[in-house]
A and B are shown apart, each in its own frame.
Chain A
Amino acid sequence: MKVEWPTEKIPGSIGSIVLGKTAEDGGTRKVSYTIGGGKSMPFIRAENGTPNRPRIAMEVHSAKPDFKAMAAEELAGVLDDPVAWAKACENDWGADLVCLKFTGANPDGEDCSVDETAALAKEVLGSVGVPLMFYGCGDESKDSQIMSAIGDMIRPEGAVIGVAEADSYKSMAAAAIAFNTHLVSFSNLDINLAKQLNILLLEYDFPAERIIMDPLQGALGYGVEYSFSVIERIRLAALAGDKTIQMPMICDASVGNNYREAYEPSDIWGEANTRSILWEGVTAMSSLTGGADLVIIRCPSSTKYINRMLDRLMGGGD
């Protein structure tokens, strides 16, 4: 009996974005990637669900973070040296991008100065060839100053900055417009909030083709059930033709490291380092399966395994 692929009429598709600019386009990145462009749900071949391989951005923190288990072990040599950390992501760990998080600039924390932070960004930019993402510390006024300070330097690079939130999107959007970067629009686990923020950005004349949506990644066991469904609903709404929600999605799976199953020694839960990789890895697979085009990852081992899963799902693995 003949079995036909169960075709469905899919009126919409996901927008595509080029991350990073090489010399050819006036930048200094060694590589650039197209993400997005999906015409169906992820990894469905007959309908071109994933024409462009989803990419992995490895996170680098500007101030030494308090990591545990596998993350602490694997990143031990670089945690207080963001430049070396970024280089290792590119050279040793298979990162497609580096996401530099300016956590050290937070006024409630270490409160590193704008000049210091910008100098770090400059050094990272000069030290790695992969496309870059720059995440603020969450303090609107400080982030605005940081983005202004690094703006001229990242303008030609096809970089990504973030995050823009509903109550403070204008300063981040203004920076992304002024410095010609992509922008991460961040919403809180709700398809309607995601859509609303995109509409605000579009009304602010922000170009749709430079938005990447972050619908908030819940960690395995701690909200994955919500994020998985929100991601799927966004992807389905985009495929159904809703233009305000057709932007590629980014999910920060590093959150998978933050819960005790990922790091606590236990007689019941088994070996902690393996658990650690799996907690981040399953969290990442949930968003990739649902519709993420870009994931942020912390552990080198998680990156290795997620790359391997992508090889196999994309069909080039064995």
Chain B
Amino acid sequence: MGLSAIEIYKLLPKTNCGECGVPTCLAFAMQLANMKVELSACPHVDAAGEEALGAASAPPIKLVTVGDGEGKLELGDETVLFRHEKTFYHAPPLVGVVEDGWDADAIKTRAADVKALVFDRVGREEGMNAVAVWHTSGDMAAAATTAKEASGMPLVLIGSDEGAMKAALGAVGGDKPLIVSAEAGSNAAMVALAKEHGCPVAVGSDGGLEGLVDELKAAKDAGVENIVMLMRGELGDLFNDLVAVRRLAINKSFRELGYPSMTIIEGDDEIETTLEAATLLMKYSSMLVLRNYSPELILPMVTIRLNIYTDPQKPIQVKPAIYKVGDPGPDAPFMLTSNFSLTYFSVEGDVDKSKVPSRILVIDTEGLSVLTAFAAGKMEPDKMADAIEASGIADELNHKKLIIPGMIARASGKLAELTGWEIIVGPRESTGIPKFLREL
């Protein structure tokens, strides 16, 4: 966004009619500058203003949608270079691969596996998001149909053969798959098919970023709006190109490269390719096609994606519940802590280290750490007492002893009164837990 609120205001009708839902034109301009509203909300802006503002208010990196209906994917539309500046918005889809040269059963099995690969990460389901059908030598239309039926996921069609792509689009084009032109030489044909079927298209270039600008312009001129940049190259070059296009789009408002970028990770070594993919995910790849596939490779990928693409302003929270570390019996220690992820992970790790099987009750503190939560009234004795009661923990234990964090020792009297339990004040820092539990 190149224009300030004041510059935008000058282009608005300045009538303060309020029909946009915002009381004044200046307030509307401020919201527009922050990309909180769309210009179309203003019914009275004139054509000249619309043109000037339309160009300026377009996001620096275009939002591209792949697929249709539920489960459709959104790529791009990022506004910062570093996540701490605001947040990264659109987590890169991870795309599994089938080749149309495989037999139908192999395609079906892999597509179903990609769909089934879902992990529970701090209460969220995270997995792969699409299946790529790669044209080698087989029947692309049949393969695409099989992949779609077996996975139910959005598709990515990769190829350079016009006839094969045409046939595949005849079968699944209505689902708005992403068409990936596998070679620069096939860009024009693939763009024409994208236009015909209203699908997004990815194009690359053999001529570096300058060549890429030309290819993107050709696609745009051919009437396709939803364009993705296919970024290729050896890792060091690719890393630098991804940084360059992100910086150009965001810092220099360079529209010619303002599209999401996809990368295809190739190579036989599963560990090396996964580290490569993780590195590119951290630095700006908007979609990753992964040939190597298995749970031990995808779990680290979905985890780093979740870590990088969470909103830094909102702490990751653990679901309030009772968690067991080891295999605690009815006499095992019972303690409570906050639901701020790092607090819980530290406590869990240190309990594990103690080798004393225990139960941990996580209190809903809205993501605040223990001391902050206590100070902010999110970890008050009555709230903790309610959580203990609601958890039904009393039935699981032979004792009524609760360990509380040393940081909230002050709450022990009131908590004992409310619950009738014996309150034991634990260490202030979780690092003290192993020693504490062993000596309990």
Contact = CB atoms under 8 A, between A and B. Distances in A.
Interface of A: 1-3, 5-6, 8, 41, 43-46, 108, 218, 220-226, 228-229, 232-233, 236, 258-259, 261, 268-272, 274-275, 277-279, 281-282, 285-286, 289, 301, 305-306, 308-309, 312-315, 317-318
Contacts of B213: 1, 3
Contacts of A233: 82, 84
Contacts of B248: 3, 6
B296 interface: yes
B312 to A, nearest CB: 6
Interface centre among B119, B247, B304 (most CB of A within 10 A): B304
Contacts of B300: 220, 261, 275, 278-279, 282
Nearest to B300: A278
Interface in B230-274: 234-237, 239-240, 243-244, 247-248, 251-252, 254, 256-257, 270-272, 274
Interface in B209-238: 209-210, 213-214, 217, 234-237
Given A226-B342, A278-B296, A313-B236, A1 B304 contact: no
B378 to A, nearest CB: 20
Contacts of A43: 236, 239-240
Q: Which 8 A-B pairs have the closest CB atoms?
A: A270-B296, A270-B295, A225-B307, A6-B247, A312-B235, A229-B84, A278-B300, A221-B303
Contacts of A44: 240, 243
B121 interface: yes
A314 B349 CA distance: 36
A67 to B, nearest CB: 13
A227 to B, nearest CB: 9
A289 B303 contact: no
Interface of B: 82-84, 119, 121, 208-210, 213-214, 217, 234-237, 239-240, 243-244, 247-248, 251-252, 254, 256-257, 270-272, 274-276, 278-279, 282-283, 294-300, 303-304, 306-308, 310, 312, 316, 341-342, 345, 349, 435
Contact of A5 (B244, B295, B297): B244
B236 A315 contact: yes
Given A232-B82, A285-B282, A318-B234, A268 B119 contact: yes
21 contacts: A3-B210, A3-B257, A6-B244, A8-B251, A44-B240, A221-B303, A221-B306, A223-B345, A225-B312, A229-B83, A236-B82, A270-B296, A271-B294, A278-B297, A278-B300, A282-B303, A289-B282, A312-B234, A315-B237, A317-B235, A317-B236
A277 B303 CA distance: 15
Interface centre among B243, B274, B342 (most CB of A within 10 A): B243
Contacts of B214: 1
| Interface class of chain B by DSSP | helix
A309 B277 CA distance: 11
Given A6-B247, A46-B240, A285-B278, A225 B296 contact: no
A88 B156 CA distance: 46
Nearest to A189: B342
A313 B295 contact: no
A271 B270 CA distance: 12
B282 A228 contact: yes
B278 A1 contact: no
B428 to A, nearest CB: 13
B274 A278 contact: yes
Contact of B435 (A108, A228, A236, A268): A108
A1 to B, nearest CB: 5
Given A274-B271, A282-B300, A305-B271, A317 B312 contact: no
Contacts of B257: 3
Given A277-B271, A278-B275, A229 B312 contact: yes
B276 A309 contact: yes
Nearest to B296: A270
Given A43-B239, A225-B307, A282-B278, A274 B342 contact: no
A270 B82 CA distance: 32
A309 B84 CA distance: 25
A71 B274 CA distance: 19
B307 A269 contact: no
A279 B82 CA distance: 23
A1 B349 CA distance: 55
Contacts of A272: 296
Given A43-B236, A108-B435, 12 more contacts: A6-B251, A220-B300, A223-B342, A233-B82, A261-B299, A261-B300, A270-B297, A272-B296, A282-B274, A286-B278, A305-B272, A314-B236
A224 B345 CA distance: 12
Contacts of A258: 349
A98 to B, nearest CB: 23
Given A5-B244, A43-B236, A270-B294, A225 B275 contact: no
A282 B252 contact: no
B118 to A, nearest CB: 9
A220 B304 contact: yes
Nearest to A41: B243
A145 B142 CA distance: 73
B368 to A, nearest CB: 15
A195 to B, nearest CB: 15
Interface centre among B271, B278, B300 (most CB of A within 10 A): B300
Contacts of B283: 289
A301 B274 CA distance: 14
B82 A278 contact: no
Contacts of B272: 305, 308-309
Nearest to A2: B210
A220 B121 CA distance: 12
Contact of B252 (A6, A45, A314): A6
A271 B292 CA distance: 14
A236 B345 CA distance: 28
Contacts of B276: 309, 312
A239 to B, nearest CB: 12
A278 B239 CA distance: 20
A186 to B, nearest CB: 14
Contacts of A279: 300
Nearest to A285: B279
Nearest to A313: B236
B340 to A, nearest CB: 11
Contacts of A221: 121, 303, 306-307
Nearest to A233: B84
A275 to B, nearest CB: 4
B39 to A, nearest CB: 27
